[in-house]
């Protein structure tokens, strides 16, 4: 069994694959601000015969070292941290410094391309909101990093004396401060996404499909049409990477 780990800014999600290459869901937990070890013991205490651990991480080097030490002590393995390459798994990275593209974004692009090779827009609604364009030939065209609606709301509340967003809801015409803050944050995020998608429309063609995932997807989905909900693209991308490595191929290059 191969362990696949997606370490985001606030959550750790994991899955596994065996010889049949089918992704088996594992678990997810919040990790911001606390030690990983206790949660990892609970999550992975019953796992046996782990032969590799592939990790996509956007957290600090210290956090990665904590995870690597646990993998070494628990399974006797060296954790394999994936970094964004210039090209791999049919996808070409648009960044001049490829490693500067978040590996979560790269692996999600690879999974989306393997799922359907077409012009498409990927949106991950997490702690930050990322929006990426992927062409049918696997070329990453570039993307955005935007404050998530939650981050926008937190910034407004923190920076003002009398604004409270608690209990706010999406409304066509907000008539309370809380509703105004919540609706404004969602409209701002959706507007950035749709403006980016509109820039990709080619003569005589419809808007490219939009794939939406992440913990904040539910509140954005009603404002984006049409939209395809996707789940665990980073883990699916990690599975592709692990399979390439197991087959003796070098995923990057």
Q: Could you tell me if residue 135 is inside a domain? A: yes
Q: Which tens digits make up the pLDDT trace of 25-50?
A: 999 999 977 788 899 999 999 998 99
Same domain, 123 and 69: no
Give catalytic status of residue 104 as yes or no. yes
Same domain, 162 and 63: no
Range of the structural domain that residue 35 is part of? 2-81
Q: Could you tell me if residue 112 is inside a domain? A: no
Q: Which two tokens stand for residue 89?
A: 């798994």
Tell me how many domains the chain contains: 2
The per-residue pLDDT of the chain, averaged, comes to 94
Q: Which of 19, 20, 104, 137 is catalytic?
A: 104
Confidence at residue 252, expressed as pLDDT on a 0 to 100 scale: 59
- Reply yes or no on whether the pLDDT at 253 is more than 60: no
Q: Could you tell me if residue 159 is inside a domain? A: yes
Task: Check the annotation: does 250 bind a ligand.
Answer: no
Among 81, 109, 125, which residue terminates a domain? Answer: 81
Radius of gyration of the chain (CA): 19
Calpha distance 39→247 (Å, rounded): 32
Q: Could you tell me if residue 39 is inside a domain? A: yes
Task: Check the annotation: does 2 bind a ligand.
Answer: no
Q: Could you tell me if residue 28 is inside a domain? A: yes
Task: Check the annotation: does 33 bind a ligand.
Answer: no
Question: Which H or E run includes 229?
Answer: strand 228-229
Query: Which residues neighbour 250 within 8 Å (Cβ) at sequence distance 6 or greater?
Result: 244
Q: Which tens digits make up the pLDDT trace of 105-127?
A: 999 999 999 999 999 999 999 99
Same domain, 134 and 223: yes
- Reply yes or no on whether the pLDDT at 59 is more than 50: yes
Same domain, 133 and 70: no
Same domain, 56 and 156: no
Same domain, 122 and 77: no
Task: Check the annotation: does 197 bind a ligand.
Answer: no
CATH number at 154 reads 3.30.420.40
| Percent of the chain as helix, strand, coil, to the nearest 5 | 35, 25, 40
Calpha distance 70→72 (Å, rounded): 5
């Amino acid at each position: 069994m191969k362990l696949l780990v997606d370490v985001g800014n606030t959550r750790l999600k994991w899955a596994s694959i065996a010889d049949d290459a089918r992704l088996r869901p594992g678990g997810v937990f919040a990790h911001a601000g606390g030690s990983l070890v206790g949660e990892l013991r609970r999550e992975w205490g019953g796992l046996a015969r782990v032969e590799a651990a592939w990790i996509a991480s956007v957290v600090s080097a210290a956090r990665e070292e904590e995870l690597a030490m646990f993998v070494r002590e628990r399974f006797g393995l060296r954790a394999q941290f994936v970094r964004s390459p210039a090209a791999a798994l049919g996808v070409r990275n648009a960044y001049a410094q490829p490693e500067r593209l978040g590996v979560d974004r790269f692996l999600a692009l690879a999974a989306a391309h393997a799922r359907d090779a077409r012009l498409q827009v990927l949106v991950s609604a997490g702690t930050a909101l990322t929006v990426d364009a992927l062409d049918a030939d696997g070329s990453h065209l570039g993307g955005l990093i935007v404050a998530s609606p939650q981050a926008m709301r937190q910034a407004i509340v923190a920076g003002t004396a009398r604004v409270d967003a608690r209990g706010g809801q999406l409304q066509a015409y907000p008539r309370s401060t809380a509703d105004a803050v919540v609706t404004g944050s969602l409209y701002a995020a959706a507007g950035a996404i749709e403006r980016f998608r509109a820039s990709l429309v080619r003569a005589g063609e419809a808007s490219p499909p939009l794939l939406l995932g992440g913990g904040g997807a539910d509140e954005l989905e009603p404002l984006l049409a049409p939209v395809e909900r996707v789940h665990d693209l980073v883990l699916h991308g990690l599975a592709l990477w692990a399979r390439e490595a197991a087959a003796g191929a070098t995923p990057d290059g």
